[in-house]
């Protein structure tokens, strides 16, 4: 399995000429700084000994978080949108994140996707370490660029922009487009049949049909940005999302798409069937 990092996230701090207040009020309690003695740090690195080690580690942890939580809209995928979105936000003294703003956008939903990732940090179990000035926690404005790579797609049957589409499991990367699709369909059906958990609630209620899912197969073969394109029911949708997400636990899952001898991100779609007849047979075999 190929492991190639998709994005490079560079943390930029807006500089002031001195360690000064960038905005202030009368009592000084709500001052917002841009540069302080100890800048805020993403969690997971406070066990390290030196400040430099903590800073470097925190930047890597932040990059990994963005990479694993970043999503793409259908518009961004279809229009091959790529570039850099810049987000600014305030890290409060209590480690919460507020006042999230887009200062540079590339359109097609990418700006909002970057905002959503930053907003999700408020739900993390471990929180940011706030910035410190003169030994006390203070409010700090933080600037974060988020890179969006071009994503090729499986939605348009006339999109022949890649030489090789992604292939799943035992399918050969050198297959023709037609053979690769046939092999993928067979391997995916087998995998989903073995791993899909038919929700008890849906089974008892007689719910059956098809959930269409879309997902990005990253340059490293991992699966991300899983979304429902055609919904069946809440519980069936969740089961479909879970079975696609489980592909990331496979030792040999997806081989990524290739374009001009390099790996590229690719948006794939697949129909997941919920059949009462097949589920009944499966349960009788147990």
Residue 24 has pLDDT above 80, yes or no: no
Q: What is the pLDDT of residue 153?
A: 73
Q: Which residues contact 8 (CB under 8 A, 6 or more apart)?
A: 63, 147
Task: For each of the domains in the chain, give its residue range(s) and CATH number, in order of start.
Answer: 21-149 (3.30.2420.10), 152-285 (3.30.2420.10)
- C-alpha 234/C-alpha 163 separation (Å) is 37
- C-alpha 98/C-alpha 32 separation (Å) is 12
Q: What is the pLDDT of residue 28?
A: 56
Q: Which residues contact 144 (CB under 8 A, 6 or more apart)?
A: 9, 11, 12, 62, 66, 86, 87, 88, 89, 114, 118
Q: What is the pLDDT of residue 263?
A: 93
Q: What is the pLDDT of residue 10?
A: 43
Residue 20 has pLDDT above 70, yes or no: no
Banded pLDDT at 16 (limits 50, 70, 90): very low
Lowest mean pLDDT among 1-10, 87-96, 172-181, 268-277: 1-10
- C-alpha 99/C-alpha 140 separation (Å) is 11
The percent of residues in the chain predicted with pLDDT above 90, rounded, is 68
Q: What is the pLDDT of residue 155?
A: 61
Model pTM? Answer: 0.66
Size of the chain in residues: 286
Lowest mean pLDDT among 130-134, 155-159, 232-236: 155-159
């Amino acid at each position: 399995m190929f492991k190639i990092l998709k994005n490079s996230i560079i943390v930029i701090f807006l500089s002031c000429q001195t360690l000064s207040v960038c905005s202030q009020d009368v009592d000084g309690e709500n001052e917002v700084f841009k540069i302080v003695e100890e800048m805020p740090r993403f969690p997971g690195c406070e066990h390290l000994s030196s400040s430099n080690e903590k800073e470097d580690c925190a930047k890597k942890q932040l990059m990994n978080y963005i990479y694993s939580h970043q999503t793409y809209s259908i518009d961004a995928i279809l229009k091959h949108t790529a570039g850099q979105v810049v987000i600014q936000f305030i890290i409060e003294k209590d480690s919460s994140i507020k006042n999230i703003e887009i200062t540079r956008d590339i359109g097609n939903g990418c700006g909002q996707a970057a905002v959503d990732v930053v907003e999700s940090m408020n739900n993390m179990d471990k929180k940011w370490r706030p910035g410190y000035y003169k030994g006390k926690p203070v409010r700090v404005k933080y600037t974060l660029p988020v890179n969006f790579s071009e994503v090729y797609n499986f939605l348009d049957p006339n999109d022949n922009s890649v030489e090789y589409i992604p292939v799943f499991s035992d399918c050969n990367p050198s297959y023709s487009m037609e053979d690769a699709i046939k092999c993928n369909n067979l391997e995916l059906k087998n995998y989903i049949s073995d791993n899909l958990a038919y929700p008890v609630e849906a089974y008892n209620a007689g719910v059956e049909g098809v959930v269409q899912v879309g997902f990005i197969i990253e340059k490293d073969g991992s699966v991300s940005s899983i979304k429902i394109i055609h919904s069946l029911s809440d519980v069936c949708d969740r089961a479909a999302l879970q079975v696609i997400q489980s592909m990331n636990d496979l030792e040999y899952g997806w081989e990524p798409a290739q374009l001009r001898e390099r790996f590229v991100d690719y948006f794939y779609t697949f129909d997941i069937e919920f059949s009462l007849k097949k589920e009944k047979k499966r349960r009788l075999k147990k």
